[in-house]
Amino acid sequence: MNETAKPSTPPEAERDSVLRLLQRSIRPERTLEILADLIRFKSVNPGGTEGEAAAYIAKTMESAGCVVELQEIEPGRPNVLARLKGTGGGRTVILNTHMDVVPAGAGWSEDPFEMVVKGDRAYGRGVMDAKGPLAAMMAAVEAIAASGIELPGDVVLAAVVDEEAASIGARRLPEGLTGDLAVVGEATNGQLAIAHRGSVRPVLVADGVSAHSSTPHLGVNAVMLMARALVALDDFAGKTLPGRLHPLTGQSTLSVTVMRGGIKESMIPDRCEALIDRRLIPGEDEEAALREIEQVISGVPELDGRVRIDRLVPTTGVASETAPDHPMVGLASRAIEEVYGRRPELVGLTANCDMTHFVARGIPSVIYGPGDFSVAHTADEWVPLSELEKATRVYATIALDVASS
């Protein structure tokens, strides 16, 4: 595809007529029905599986007329690829989000795995992250099929596993899966995100020498070694990283999130571990970030080479972005404007998401979904019903425009 050329679209009058037909086929109550069903599947990561949710999605999309493939990633953890085939000659849009959710945790007012509607809000684990976007995408595909509109291009729903951990689902999507636009379903509060941060998580290990705590001079305290290393890294983070800014995602960061050391109150600890959460902005890569951490540690003489990067904890992946002037960004922006009645702001996510794995395939990608991202991973997670309806309409409109262009 020529990325500098504006996608051709049907004549406006014809498009408007088709779009009105499509919008009449959208039933907001159907999005809620699908969402309530999805919430009941305890696809918690870690500890649960997405298998039951995947079976439900596959059956629902098959009933809508899609060709469905279950791609087994791990036992009981399949990706769902549902393709609503076009007549040929059009472009392909991929609607992607994830089936897994984080643990419910404490503090819920109701059963987190039974959706509750109060006023204009639906509550439950995953109503916003990301079963709300998933339900809206499924309802959008159903509406397209029910409308009788024949699209030249294909609409592909890609519901993946494991986004809340290491994104093995998105990483292992079939090599042959291609598209002209991927829309990643994550909460954007009615805006359009075209960039997101990434992460790399090294585990540092300090190797000390054990001794009785009454004779500490006979040992080497691994906790103290690690403390010196972390002070140096904190100094680096405070002085260097604030200068690395991305206009949409903010600055690079480095945080210590887990630390373990010592096994007995009367022993000098001979080992200490610390997990570093290094957030990357678009343009940064894992290798360079790890080299910097190694350089900071090696620059502390008192460590005597006893602190090192031992291993990496898997993450969703690196940062990515799509150029704001890309024609597909304009197409998605127009869809949001038509539904919301105002032009969306182009924003970035401070967190990871699966967009990075579509960008890595050369697929232009954007992020859009119902709800406010600040509600993610909280007790009494909620999403506005009005946002669910708008999301269904936005996804359907984007699919129509891409597949018809």
The CATH number that applies at residue 177 is 3.40.630.10
Co-location of 183 and 211 in the same domain:
no
Residue that finishes a domain, picked among 313, 333, 358? 313
- 314-340 b/e (C-beta count within 10 Å ≥ 16 → b): ebbbbbbbbeeebbbbebbbbbbeebe
Render 116-178 in DSSP notation, one character per residue.
Answer: EEETTEEESTTTTTTHHHHHHHHHHHHHHHHHT---SS-EEEEEES-TTTT-HHHHTS-TT--
* Domain that includes residue 305, residue range: 198-313
Contact criterion met (CB below 8 Å) for 388 and 396: no
Co-location of 205 and 181 in the same domain:
no
pLDDT at position 47 is 87
Which residue ranges in the chain fall short of pLDDT 50?
Answer: 1-6, 8-9
Q: Parallel, antiparallel, or unpaired for β 365-367 and 181-184?
A: parallel
Co-location of 182 and 221 in the same domain:
no
248: Cβ contacts below 8 Å, ≥ 6 apart: 193, 194, 195, 321, 346, 347, 348
Co-location of 293 and 374 in the same domain:
no
Co-location of 99 and 184 in the same domain:
yes
Residue 5 lies in a domain: no
Contact criterion met (CB below 8 Å) for 7 and 335: no
Residue 339 lies in a domain: yes
Residue 329 lies in a domain: yes
pLDDT at position 405 is 86
Co-location of 36 and 90 in the same domain:
yes
pLDDT at position 91 is 97
pTM for the full predicted model: 0.92
295: Cβ contacts below 8 Å, ≥ 6 apart: none
Co-location of 290 and 222 in the same domain:
yes
Residue 6 lies in a domain: no
Residue whose token pair is 């509607």: 117
Residue 232 lies in a domain: yes
The amino acid occupying position 353 is: C
- Work out the angle between the directed axes of helices 385-404 and 12-25 (0-180°, nearest 10): 140
Please tell me the total count of domains within the chain.
Answer: 2
pLDDT at position 5 is 46
Co-location of 235 and 374 in the same domain:
no
Residue 236 lies in a domain: yes
Task: Compute the distance between CA of residue 35 and CA of residue 373 in angstroms, rounded to an integer.
Answer: 18
Render 28-82 in DSSP notation, one character per residue.
Answer: HHHHHHHHHHHHTS--BTTT--SHHHHHHHHHHHHHTT-EEEEEEEETTEEEEEE
Co-location of 332 and 234 in the same domain:
no
Co-location of 65 and 109 in the same domain:
yes
Residue 285 lies in a domain: yes
Residue 2 lies in a domain: no
pLDDT at position 276 is 98
Helical spans, DSSP H, in 256-311: 286-298
Residue that finishes a domain, picked among 296, 313, 330? 313
**Which domain CATH number covers 241?**
3.30.70.360
Task: Compute the distance between CA of residue 94 and CA of residue 336 in angstroms, rounded to an integer.
Answer: 17
Co-location of 131 and 275 in the same domain:
no
The amino acid occupying position 299 is: G
61: Cβ contacts below 8 Å, ≥ 6 apart: 68, 80, 82, 138, 141, 157
CB count within 10 Å of CB 234 equals 14
Co-location of 390 and 242 in the same domain:
no
Residue that finishes a domain, picked among 313, 348, 366? 313
